Amino acid sequence: MIEDKRAEASADLASTKIVSRIEYLITNDSAEGGLGEVKIRALARNYEITNVDSKSFEEIQKELVEQLRIKKRGGNNNIYDQFLKDTNMGEVVQLKSLIQEAKDKKIIGIKKGQGTARTWYYTKDEGKGPVYLQSIINISPGKNDIQELLDFLSANPEELKGLTNRVMPEPITA
């Protein structure tokens, strides 16, 4: 019984340390050991925070911390470990960031078809809603929209280059 309480206390302390470390990385400047604004904005897009470019850095920091807490409460027990891995700004993180920025700028969007059919399109915002210009990829029924586009862009470098050129994101550096 005493050993169970010690193990539980040790696990709780380890979890608290990870959360504290992540919140420190998010809320402190890179000169202070934090991630810095460019990376935080990219990571926020990666975690599907919308309209990152139109929000203050402080708003982004707050939303990112809260988004991680929501995902943890929602049962994603590995979210903090995943976030720490994502801070390395690997290819998937950069692609997700690019996709979110393209969605925010209304460069891409999903058009629903008959039944469960959905298609990613290049779009143009005419003020009354999107105008669908060119099909990018059909989404398989039951599949995750973002994952389908990620897989497609990873396998098609010319399409990735085309989307990148349309979005023209700020380069992400370490």
Q: What are the DSSP E strand ranges found in the chain?
A: 108-112, 118-125, 130-139
Phi first, then psi, for residue 139 (nearest 5°) are: -95, 125
Interval 104-146: pLDDT, tens: 999 999 998 877 789 999 998 877 888 889 999 999 888 889 9
Phi first, then psi, for residue 163 (nearest 5°) are: -65, -45
Interval 8-21: pLDDT, tens: 776 667 777 888 88
Residue with tokens 């019984």: 1
- Rounded to whole angstroms, the Cα distance separating 63 from 49 reads 7
Residue 173, pLDDT above cutoff 80: no
pTM over 0.75: no
Whether 100 and 163 have beta carbons less than 8 Å apart is answered as no
Domain spans in the chain, listed from the N-terminal domain onward: 2-88, 99-167
